[in-house]
Structure 1
Amino acid sequence: MSFDEFAQVCERLAETGKKLEKRALMAELLARLNTADAALAAIYLAGQPFAETDRRALNVGGALLTKAVAQLSGASDAALHAAYRRHGDLGSAAFDLLAAKTGGSLTLAGVEESFSALATARGPAAKLRLLLDLLQRATPLAAKYLIKLILGDMRTGVKQSLVEEAIAVASHAEVAAVRRALMVNGSLPEVVVMARAGTLADARMRLFHPLGFMLASPVDSVEEALARFSEAIAEPPEQEATLRHAQVEDKYDGMRAQLHCGDASQPGRVEIFSRNREDIGSSFPELIEAFSEAFAGIDEAVILDGEILAWSPRQQALPFSALQQRLGRKRVSAELRRQVPVVFMAFDLLYAGDALLLDQPLHARRQRLAHIVARAAASTGKPSPRAQGMLFASAEEPHFPRLLLAPATRLESKEQLDRAYHEARARGNEGVMLKAADSLYQPGRRGLAWLKLKRQLATLDVVVTGVEFGHGRRAGVLSDYTFAVRDGDELKNVGKAYSGLTDAEINDLTLFFKQHTLEEFGGFRTVEPLLVLEVAFNNVMRSSRHASGFALRFPRILRLRQDKPVSEIDTLARVEEIYASQPDKPQEEATAG
């Protein structure tokens, strides 16, 4: 099949907002293709160049693609910039700039070959040559969707779950069977082949690809949490409700992660995946080392669900800002390993004994998890032979078990839950989790079987001092706002927010800020400090990024405060007060990302 035909289907998918129409378009495409092309089409429709179990990466960014488009089209920098602002994505901009281009003989199989070559090419010059060859063989429409696919931003309104439904329709299979096979196998192209052959039931668990994470629903108060976990007794009708059997755990301020450990067939292999399904092992080498050593002697593969935490010498969790120094690093220095040690706090077991445990109740999974932790935890605290390359640093690195079992207690009463919440906050954690003891593990689902009770967000009144153009559909509007608080007669920035306002509000504010721009630096503008916002946030961190010395974590705009003059916005002293009141405030030397 030509990639241009595939792109035409993508164009039709982008034009309709109806889910059933999208599914029908994809099912019709998959049904008429041969198996090899259908397998490729499915993965490309899902917006992925490779299957999840295929660790190759294209490693091609927007700058290199922009250079390739400029060379092929002969467009000036100004024309490229204008086209991008017009559409908000490089693929659509390339479609405009390459409109005069004719011909194109690119096939789905040809794209697969080019992607394989790009994944193995080293250096921008080699990758640019391959990109130019690939785009030269594409029609303007095919180039549009090639670029979108490479950047992982198809914008057709299609999620992988809808592709799974389309595979089921095209192959006359059950959607549940397709999803189950994909969950255990991890390769969408292979699932297409199995669906066509009628062998979905034969899919077997493949380790070292992330399963979906079960999510919790938020509640705002102890009373709401108890109401969700209460059951009315039918007889007699005046009888008070009784609490379901549930457990209470601390909600940690760390990084949710899934840890895979191999068995005798793959001894010592350990991988860690984040909630967005990325391999994050390089950021936490001591966890890889510790678990590799500990589980090498245990003839059982496991998948653990838990939280990676920065860990203090006092054996308690540090706030996320300490852990943040680790994230995104390809290499973690010996000094950082010593300054910010980490542990894996396990709270669920998804796989053990060659079997998925998702359909077992939480209390059964928890019992098996406790047994595994008891067997392996002590070994995760021993110095690893792998660290001998860092001989002098490893002698200073703290040694303690890197595997911990998250403490859990049975939910008994409102008073107990209220006490547990405040004790968790005093330990520097975000709040508490409530989990039904009979709950099954539902990957990717946010139901009422798991609840999270966190602190109320603080708010500040701030003034906008700088604005930037957004990205994607907001590329043509000023939607990212840097804001400040008062410090005497000065304004000092404390953060940036880009969520919370409607499209209509952003459009109006774009005109306002253009009229009140002081200086312009590319896509960023300093503006007159006139607009007051009320912003919510999770906590305050020390930061060298802003002159204030602080940064708000996860700020979002609650409302515009046209009613409030700039003279009445919050002060830096108020920010310092909030910082000092946090039981989980970062260490003084910590900085915001």
Structure 2
Amino acid sequence: MAAATKKTAGAKKKKGKAKETAGKEGIGDKAVEAAGRLLKHDPDSGVDGWKKGEPVPYLFLANVFENISETTKRLEIAEMLTNAFRTVIVSNPDDLLAAVYLASNTIAPQHEGIDLGIGDATLVKILAEATGRKESAIRADYKEQGDLGIVASMSRSTQKTMFAPPKLTMSGVLKEFRAIATTEGTKSVDAKKAKIKKLLVAARECEAGYIVRSLQGKLRIGLAQQTVNQALIHAVVLQSDAAAKAAKEGGNGAVADLLGRGADVLKQVFSECPSYDEIVPALLMEGGVDKLHSRCHFRPGVPVKPMLAKPTCGVSEVLQRFSDVEFTCEYKYDGERAQIHLLEDGTVKIFSRNQEDNTPKFPDVIRALPSYLKAGVKSVVIDGEAVAYDREQHKILPFQILSTRGRKNIDEADIKVNVCIYAFDCLYLNGETLLQKSLTERREAMYSAFKEVPDEFYFCTAKISRDVEELQVFLEDSIADNTEGLIVKTMDATYEPSKRSLNWLKLKKDYLEGCGDSLDLVPIGAFHGRGKRTGVYGAYLLACYDEESEELQSICKIGTGFSDEQLVELTEGLRPTVIEAPRSYFKYDANAMKCDVWFDPSQVWEVKAADLSISPVHQAGHGLVDPVKGIALRFPRFLRKRDDKNVEQATNSEQVADFYNAQATKQEFAGGDDDY
């Protein structure tokens, strides 16, 4: 067992080091080869059918999407999109913003809450009107194809028009999408239908298919935001004078290094300022990448991506990490992450961990916030947890209670579930960003800006120590106080947006038994229920997310932990996402996992398991622990649906490998083995 653990750790360390080198310096073999191919491409060659300076046709981008849909190789996808963005830059740089939004399948920054999400029934009706076909025929084709975008491409208009409509442009399509999403009022439905019909009538070749898919909110070509961001920064860097100089002086390796550093800069900036409206214009200004961080940085009103804690196997792992440093233990509250922003003009915004604007959900918190502030506070951002709270009994309530609270358009008089805010960090105060300050300084800023109000606003319960043995006692105290456990943090740590840092370790009560942490997984397929479960899905195939390959890798089949009501609710919620065949980026054993239905990935579920094991069937973390096998969960059970997470925020394959290795280490210290 010891030898196996050592071998596994060595292999993982080697792979991790290689990834670190490639990510940090951009000089891995594949990166150098890719840089060479990108340098050979002439972006002017993509300008076909329009003149430089003119709006870029939407058909250009639709054809790029078509080419991307024909491959599953991430590097090829990234290179195709990079070259497309480069063509836009040399042709009409003002259209780059539209190209990035359309490629990322969004129309505005996520925190603005502007989504299309047009229902299938509405699209079928509009498609019939725009093409002259019968609705019944459209629905029949949709059932057969499983993709309304394909049906739209097949249903090219048979209606004759006296004058050909103007050709669609990328900027024009984005403008119409935004107008459709923001149209309100008594006749808004008719107005939206008219705008969509206008787009479909003007569509040429494959354009209609991607217009419909965008309106559904499902581009269906496996293009993740991570790849879009990579293509964006690579395109900007390659079209800069710095790239030409690097190629001349250092060849492909120097260019690869430049691309890697650019990607690191954009990743950091996007985590602090997740807005293409600000980032894309800034990249096109003089100084581009070098001045990006000074032009686009964290400020109140725009949510920073939250820092995350790394799960641990138990107190022994914390001991290894924090034995020689001062650390703090904070209660881990079982609620919703709440990033509360007070702007200079007095506006209050509350954002979820997923940058969703949750302001309408907490009118009571917004009303009461001034009473939590000390004199002199003009602008501030705090990170905290909104927890369901019984103000009569003065105690924290389970998360399930909080989940029954409404999400939008809540009248404070109708609120039945009270919340208490537990603040644990301060990210901004009176015009100064604190992200690069130590936790000690950020905590002092929080204490200087806020005061506790019983049953409404508290600072998280915390203890500073250098004695790791106190952890066990404090962990037991946290459980007795109805929290999930502890977050252990180093006092000198800065706030690292979107990172799951070793400076924050998660120690939950679950670590006292079985598998250390729960996992957040994506349902990608299901099996029809039998017996008592007839009429609903009886079991599901779940997957973790691999950030490097952008794959969803199967990790378990789950059929336990569901109540009868949950089975009905989940079935009804997933049926609209059923697709004809598994996506090309699903990694699973086709012989062992023959699902009755497959899903377009849309939900994230929290799952607990007894432990993890090496699996000849499941593909999670394939190659990270075993060279040819993946990792599977044993005896998984459903806990809850995670509405606060999207698919790309599911537990990733490296985390799964970490769980397995931590479990193996724990068993080795205990004299156990993992031969099951």
- TM-score under structure 1 normalisation? 0.69
Mean Cα deviation higher: 275-284 or 362-371:
362-371
Deviation at 1:255, TM superposition (A): 0.5
Counterpart of 2:183 in structure 1 is 120
Q: Which residue of 2 aligns with 1:280?
A: 358
More divergent stretch after superposition (298-307 vs 201-210): 201-210
The equivalences for 1:99-498 within 5 A come to 105-118=167-180, 119-122=182-185, 123-139=188-204, 141-172=206-237, 174-199=262-287, 200=292, 201-227=294-320, 229-230=321-322, 242-263=323-344, 266=345, 268-292=346-370, 298-313=376-391, 314-332=393-411, 334-336=413-415, 339-374=416-451, 377-378=452-453, 400=454, 402-413=456-467, 415-456=469-510, 465-466=533-534, 467-468=536-537, 495=567
> Structure 1: which 5+ residue stretches go unaligned?
231-241, 379-399, 474-478, 486-490, 512-532, 541-553, 555-593
- Rate the CA distance shift 1:101–1:35 in 2: closer, same or farther, 3 A: farther
Do the aligned residues in 2 keep the contact of 1:307 with 1:345 (CA within 8 Å)?
A: yes
Counterpart of 1:388?
none
**Partner residue, 1:90:** 148
Cα deviation, residue 417, structure 1: 1.7
Distance 1:189 1:334, change over 3 A: closer
Change (3 A) 1:148 1:197: same
Normalised by the length of structure 2, the TM-score is 0.61
Structure 2 residue corresponding to 1:48, chosen from 94, 103, 106: 106
Partners of 1:463 and 1:253 in 2: CA distance: 35
Aligned length: 468
Contact 2:335 2:402 in 1 (8 A): yes
CA gap of 1:509–1:47, structure 2 versus 1, over 3 A, is closer
**C-alpha deviation, 1:279, in angstroms:** 0.8
Whole-Å Cα distance in 2 between the matches of residues 176 and 155 of structure 1? 27
**What SS does the corresponding residue of 1:153 show, helix, strand or coil?**
coil
Distance in 2 of aligned mates of 1:191 and 1:311: 40
For 1:427 and 1:538, locate their aligned partners in 2 and report how far apart those are by CA, in whole Å.
Answer: 21
Q: Closer, same or farther in 2 for the Cα pair 1:333/1:204, shift >3 Å?
A: closer
242-251 or 340-349: bigger deviation? 242-251
**How far is 1:321 from its partner?**
1.2
Of the candidates 80, 90, 94, which is equivalent to residue 36 of structure 1?
Answer: 94
Aligned letter for 1:346? A
| AA matched with 1:37 | D
Judge conservation of contact 1:464–1:483 (CA < 8 Å) in 2: no
In the alignment, residue 114 of structure 1 is paired with which amino acid?
E
> 1:280 Cα deviation (Å)?
0.9
Change (3 A) 1:85 1:432: farther
- Cα separation, 2, equivalents of 1:327 and 1:243: 46
Partner AA of 2:410 in structure 1: R
Give the corresponding residue for 2:77. Answer: 22
Aligned residue type for 1:440: T
C-alpha distance in 1 between matches for 2:394 and 2:340: 21
The answer to whether the 8 Å contact 2:341/2:350 transfers is: yes
Q: 1:27 to 1:244 in 2, by over 3 A?
A: same
Find the counterpart in structure 1 of residue 25 from structure 2. none
Query: Which letter does structure 1 place at the counterpart of 2:384?
Result: G
Q: Distance between the aligned counterparts of 1:346 and 1:468, measured in 2?
A: 40
The match for 1:62 is 120
* Superimposed CA distance per residue, residues 477-518 of structure 1 (whole angstroms, 9 cap, x where no aligned partner): xx9988799xxxxx966647799995637853529xxxxxxx
Give structure 2 stretches of 5+ with no counterpart: 1-55, 241-261, 516-529, 544-555, 575-585, 598-633, 642-649, 651-676
Letter in 1 for 2:191: A
* Contact 2:309-2:504 within 8 A present in 1 as well: yes
The worse-fitting range, judged by mean Cα deviation, of 69-78 and 280-289 is 69-78
Q: Is the 8 A contact 1:306 1:345 kept in 2?
A: yes
CA distance in 2, matches of 1:319, 1:282: 22
Distance 1:277 1:60 in 2: 22
Partner of 2:26: none
Question: Match for 2:492: what amino acid?
Answer: D
Q: Quote how far apart the aligned CAs of 1:109 are.
A: 2.2
Q: 1:456-481 deviations in whole A, cap 9, x for unaligned?
A: 3899xx9871434999x9xxxxx998
Aligned to 2:29: none
Q: What's the CA shift string for 1:528-572, capped at 9, x where partnerless?
A: xxxxx95414489xxxxxxxxxxxxx9xxxxxxxxxxxxxxxxxx
Task: Please say if residues 43 and 189 of structure 1, whose CA atoms lie closer than 8 Å, have aligned partners that are also in contact.
Answer: no
Deviation of residue 248 (structure 1)?
Answer: 1.1
Q: Which residue of 2 aligns with 1:520?
A: none
- Local SS of the residue matching 1:30: helix
| Cα distance in 2, alignment partners of residues 45 and 116 from structure 1 | 15
Identical aligned pairs, as a percentage? Answer: 27
Cα 1:539–1:410, aligned 2, differ >3 Å: closer, same or farther?
A: farther
Find the aligned partners of 1:435 and 1:259 in 2 and give their Cα distance: 21
Using the TM superposition, give the Cα deviation of residue 225 of structure 1 relative to its aligned residue in structure 2, in angstroms. 3.4
User: What is residue 637 of structure 2 aligned with on the other side?
Assistant: 536
Supply the AA of the counterpart residue of 1:352.
Answer: L
Q: Output the amino acid matched with 2:474.
A: A
Contact 1:482 1:495 in 2 (8 A): no
| Per-residue CA distance 1:243-298 (angstroms, 9 max, x = gap) | 432211111110012111112xx1x2100111221111111111111125655964
CA-atom RMSD in angstroms: 3.9
Contact 2:402–2:417 (CA<8 Å) still a contact in 1? yes
Alpha-carbon distance in structure 2 between the residues aligned to 1:247 and 1:495: 41
Q: CA deviation at 1:132?
A: 1.0
Alpha-carbon distance, 1:93 to partner = 3.9
- Whichever residue aligns with residue 198 of structure 1, its letter is E
